[in-house]
């Protein structure tokens, strides 16, 4: 890879929430962002505009991660536009609140497909780039529900199972890429405040207030607080951190 090209970061789920906050935080000169979303083209365009205003180069793609062609197109876009990939951040996912008994097998498969299988396909497609980059980094966004189940807010069994598998896959990849100097880590948020861009929530306002009351710090996380942890793991300062799951949850799993 050319040493004089910008640092290239591919982010899925970039139109809202944590993914959008991360792109805005990373944006600046000598940075290229390849940003994907499943369907929120307007949200992605707004984030892209903000990032470009900070001097970042931006390429975007709208497509469903349940389709392998979407995954391939994201990696191809990064290579054709900027010459390769240095950082891969998998944020995309969705909340399926249905409990066992109401959750059907297709819903379970969809969660695994978007969270776990798409991550496997992304890192497989980008593997040569990540190994070759002197600043190779992979971060997968998990959830506290891969570790414990709150008595408020629902259990989300399909989402929890998919994220738990994501963490195991990421740790295996961390061991595989360690000698190449490429780090692989997970960030597991607690309950995160929905930003105004998202326009929807799987919980009511009353449920969110109840959840905030049981978090030891007494509030929900801001998307940018989770993004800050991801940005650190992408930085040179985190070059000796790999195979870890970093919890950002205000003490929820204490």
Q: Is residue 2 part of a domain?
A: no
Give the span between the Cα atoms of 201 and 191, in whole angstroms. 12
Q: What is the CATH number of the domain that holds 166?
A: 3.40.50.720
Q: Is residue 12 part of a domain?
A: yes
State the pLDDT at residue 214: 86
Residue 229 DSSP symbol: H
Inside any domain, residue 251:
no
Residues above pLDDT 70, as percent of the chain: 93
Q: Which of 82, 156, 191, 240 is catalytic?
A: 156
pLDDT score recorded for residue 154: 66
Q: What mean pLDDT do residues 190-212 have?
A: 74
At 156, is the pLDDT very low, low, confident or very high (cuts 50, 70, 90)?
A: confident
CA distance 22 to 54: 13
In a domain, 65, yes or no: yes
The reported pLDDT for the residue numbered 201 is: 59
pLDDT at 151: 61
Q: What is the pTM of this model?
A: 0.93
Higher pLDDT, residue 150 or 93: 93
DSSP 218: S
Domain span holding position 218: 7-246
Any idea which of 8-17, 97-106, 142-151, 194-203 has the lowest mean pLDDT?
Answer: 194-203
Q: Give the per-residue pLDDT at 205.
A: 79
Count up the domains in the chain and report the number: 1
What does the pLDDT average to over 20-32?
98
Q: Is residue 67 part of a domain?
A: yes
Distance CA 108, CA 47 (A): 30
What does each C-alpha distance from 195 to 113, 177, 198, 234 come to in angstroms?
Answer: 25, 34, 6, 23
Looking at every residue in the chain, the average pLDDT score rounds to 92
State yes or no: is 240 an active-site residue.
Answer: no
**Is residue 252 included in any domain, yes or no?**
no
Q: Which pLDDT tens digit goes with each residue over 27-62?
A: 999 999 999 999 999 999 999 999 999 999 999 999
199: pLDDT strictly greater than 70: no
């Amino acid at each position: 890879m050319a040493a004089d090209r910008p640092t290239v970061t591919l982010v899925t789920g970039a139109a809202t929430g944590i993914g959008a906050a991360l792109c805005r935080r990373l944006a600046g000169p000598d940075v290229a962002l390849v940003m994907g979303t499943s369907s929120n083209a307007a949200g992605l365009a707004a984030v892209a505009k903000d990032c470009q205003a900070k001097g970042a180069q931006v390429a975007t793609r709208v497509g469903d991660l349940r389709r392998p062609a979407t995954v391939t197109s994201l990696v191809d876009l990064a290579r054709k536009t900027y010459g390769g990939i240095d950082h891969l951040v998998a944020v995309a996912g969705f909340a399926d609140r249905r409990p066992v008994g109401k959750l059907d097998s297709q819903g379970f498969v969809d969660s695994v497909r978007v969270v776990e299988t798409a991550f496997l396909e992304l890192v497989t497609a980008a593997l040569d780039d990540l190994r070759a980059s002197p600043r190779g980094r992979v971060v997968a966004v998990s959830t506290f529900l891969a570790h414990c189940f709150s008595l408020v807010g629902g259990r989300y069994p399909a989402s929890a199972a998919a994220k738990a598998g994501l963490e195991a896959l990421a740790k295996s990849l961390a061991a595989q890429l360690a000698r190449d100097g490429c780090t692989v880590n997970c960030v597991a948020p607690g309950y995160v405040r929905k930003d105004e861009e998202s326009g929807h929530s799987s919980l009511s306002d009353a449920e969110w207030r109840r959840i905030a009351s049981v978090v030891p710090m007494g509030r929900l996380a801001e998307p940018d607080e989770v993004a800050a942890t991801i940005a650190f793991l992408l930085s040179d300062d985190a070059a000796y951190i790999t195979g870890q799951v970093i919890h950002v949850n205000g003490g929820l799993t204490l």
